[in-house]
Structure 1
Amino acid sequence: MDNSIDLKTILKTVRSSLPGRLRLRLPQLVSIDSDSALLITQWIESHGESIAVSLNPRVGSLLITWDPNRDNLDTKELFSEAAEYLNYATSLGIINEEKKSKENASTYQIENCAKSLAKQAEFLGNGILDRLCPYIAYDIKQKARKRRVTQNRLMLASLLFSVGVLATSQTKSHVLFGGAFLALLTVHLLQHRKVL
C-alpha cells in the first residue's frame, strides 16, 4: 500500500488562500510532537524573510502568512516540496499516518458515544423534570422557567436531606439523597455544558 503524499493531496488540504495568507488542514500533523512541529515551521519560514508559520497540532492546522510585497511565495512549489518533506518524514517515522488515523477514529468514536450518552441523559432528566413540574413548581406560570425552578428546588431539597440524614447517622438515606443530588446536578451540567 502506497502511503505517499502527492501534490494533488496537498492541494486538497487548502482551507483558505489569500494573497499573503494560506491555511492548510493536514491530518498528518494531528498530534505531531513539538520537535517535529518546530522543524516543519522552520523549514517553511526559511522560504522567505516575511514568512510566519503557526502550526496547531491539536487539529492539524497550519497557517502561513507573508508579506506579498517582500516575498513572492510560490505556493505550488512550496506544496511540491511539502509533499516530498512529508513523505520523507513519514518514511523516517516522524509522522505515522496509519497510527494517527486510528487514533483519530478511536477518539471520534469515543466522543460520539459520550455525546450520545449525554443527550440521552439530558432527555431522560428533562422528561422526569417535566412530569414533576406541576407538583414542585406549581406557582410558576412561565413554561420555560418551570423546569429550571423544579430542578433547582429538587437539587436544594436533595442536598439538604442528604446533609440532614448524615447528621442522624443514616448512611443509606445519605447515599440515596446524595445520589439524587448528583443525578440532578449531572442533568443541570449537561443542560449548561456550553457555558462551562
Structure 2
Amino acid sequence: MIDLYIARVELFNGKGGLVEGRIESIDRSGVDFEAVENPKLVSQPTTQWHVFAAFSTLKGGRADWLVEKCTELGASSVTPLLTGRSQSISENRADRLQRVVLAAAKQCQRLHEMILKPPIAVGELLPVVANSRLAFLAAAEATPVFNALSSINKEPNGIIIIGPEGDFTKEELNSLREAGAIAVGLGPHRLRVETATMALLSTVMLWSDCQELASN
C-alpha cells in the first residue's frame, strides 16, 4: 500500500454534486478518500444550448474531437443527426463517444456532464425546432451569424443544427426553415462538420453569456 496525502481533491458525479476531501491511501483494491466538507449541489448553468450535428460519417477521430470540444465549450447535449447524406451511428461508436464525454468533463472540471443523446432523423428534429425558443441552422450563403444575433433579443437557451459533409438536401433545408430554424452563415469558406459546429456553438455560448452578464 502506498501512503499518499494530497491537500485537496474534488469528486463530482456529473449532475452537479461536488465534495471536497483528500486521498488517505491508494492500494490495489482502491482508494481511501476522506471528505473534509459536506457534499454540495451546484445548480445547472442558465445557458443551455443543444447541438444537433450530422457527424456519423466522420472518420479519423474527428467525431471524438467534435464531442470533446462540445463538452469543453459547455453544450448541454449533443445529438447525432441522421440525414439523407449521413448514415446511422453504430452502438460501439456511441459507447466510445460517451467515454470521450466523461474524459472531457473531467479535464475541463465540468460539474454537469454533457448528455450524448441517441441519433435522430431530420424528420424527428422538426417538432424539436418548432418547440424551441431559438434554433440556428448553419447554411451556406445565409445571413452572417453576427448580423442575425444583433436583431434577436436575449435568449440563453436554444439549439444549433449542423449538416453533413455535402450539406443538407434542399428538401431538408426547407423543412427545417419552415419549422422555425434561422439560417445563419459562418463565413465565405466551406467548413467541415466539426469546424462549423465549434464556430457556431462558441459564438452562441459567448453571446448568451454576454447577454446574461449585461442583464445582471
TM-score range, shorter chain: under 0.3
Q: Which has the larger radius of gyration?
A: 1
Normalized per residue, the structure richer in helix is: 1
Say which structure, 1 or 2, has more relative contact order (CA 8 Å, 6+ apart).
2
Normalized per residue, the structure richer in strand is: 2
TM-score by length of 1: 0.21
